[in-house]
Amino acid sequence: MAKVNLRKVVKKYGALQVVHGIDLEIDDNEFVVLVGPSGCGKSTTLRMIAGLEAISDGEISIGERVVNDLPPRNRNISMVFQNYALYPHMTVRENLGFSLKIAKRPQEEIDRAVEAAAQILSLSEYMDRKPGALSGGQRQRVAMGRAIVRHPDVFLFDEPLSNLDAKLRTQMRTEIKKLHQKVKSTIVYVTHDQVEAMTLADRIVIMRDGHIEQVGTPLEVFETPANTFVATFIGSPPMNLLAGRVADGEIAIEGGPQIAVPDPFSGKVVNGQEVILGFRSDNLMPAGHAMPMEGGFTEFDMKVDLSEPLGTETLLFGSLAGKEVQAKMLNPRPVSDGEELRFQLDLTRCHLFDANSQQSLR
């Protein structure tokens, strides 16, 4: 259990810089998820915390200790790898106990710790098998067990679920969450899957191109995305974005409807400013199919090009100003392609970004 601090951490490979001086403070017992598209530097960051990659500049500390040049073995961390990284020539029991054996702990202590970990992860039946004879989910659990056994200061997870099928992934996700509740500990978790990030994290760190785009709780990053990248990356389906220009308290969408500047943003925009209007499909609904919207909303007609019924709701695809827009219909009825509907857009839940900086105007 320890804090992890990154200060102006830089990673360069020769002339290529992949992490551009990031700052991040991770609290005791906090579950932090680094998320971003592939190549954003999230795994590199994790590996620098682990000591598997040297840092080119800046400072990393675990607890109160600066660990810049320490080898991984002196950082008291444990890590779960994407490909499990089990030792193929050892049984499950030997895999679990390996780190303690290396640390020359007494045999009975090793046995106790291994047994306890096996209990937590229900691995007891497989203790004498080798990894080759285990299923993907079981291997994943062994990898996690190996991490638990050491009682490290920090757990590092490098896309641990990406090799599992969808069903198992959901199941293991829950197990990881439970694990965090049982084994109170600081966790840094890397994934490219925003659903994983949302469900697991105390705080999410969204990265792109070696920069941190936003740090916040899952709801913060969902409800107040700092820029258009975060807005489209978090949440599914991605946020609708429409370019427009501010004119007299309204946003003129090029070739589309005029929409009043949403309340939270009035006074933060100037006439003639190029902006991007963002809203989620949940906030664009056909009129008369849900509770009537309270507060400010605006209405316009839109042709539905395609509909995807999901049961409790139906996704509607239309286009505004030449861009595809997704809307949601609650209490759905069948919609035929090409049908023109009247839509209501909830202005209280709209977002506004500056078109040049792509940053939120909030």
Q: Which residues bind another protein (CB under 8 A)?
A: 50-52, 65-74, 77-79, 81-89, 98-99, 102-103, 130, 132, 146, 150, 156
Q: How far is the CB of 278 from another protein (least distance, A)?
A: 40
Q: Which is nearer to another protein, 152 or 262 (CB)?
A: 152
Q: Which is nearer to another protein, 132 or 292 (CB)?
A: 132
Q: Which is nearer to another protein, 52 or 241 (CB)?
A: 52
Q: Which is nearer to another protein, 150 or 328 (CB)?
A: 150
What's the first-to-final CA gap in the chain, in angstroms? Answer: 36
Q: How far is the CB of 163 from another protein (least distance, A)?
A: 12
Which single residue is written with the structure tokens 């309340």? 263
Q: How far is the CB of 333 from another protein (least distance, A)?
A: 49
Of 195, 197, 204, 196, the C-alpha closest to 238 is 195
Q: How far is the CB of 126 from another protein (least distance, A)?
A: 15
Q: How far is the CB of 306 from another protein (least distance, A)?
A: 38
Q: How far is the CB of 135 from another protein (least distance, A)?
A: 15
Q: How far is the CB of 134 from another protein (least distance, A)?
A: 11
* 276: its two tokens: 């991007």
Q: Which is nearer to another protein, 56 or 224 (CB)?
A: 56
CA distance 16 to 18: 6
CA distance 198 to 213: 16
Residue 348 · residue 273 · CB < 8 Å = no
Q: Which is nearer to another protein, 163 or 232 (CB)?
A: 163
| DSSP for 22-72, written as a single string | EEEEE-TT-EEEEE-STTSSHHHHHHHHHTSS--SEEEEEETTEE-TT--G
> Alpha-carbon Rg of the chain, whole angstroms?
25
CA distance 32 to 143: 19
Q: Which is nearer to another protein, 95 or 360 (CB)?
A: 95
Residue 123 · residue 114 · CB < 8 Å = no
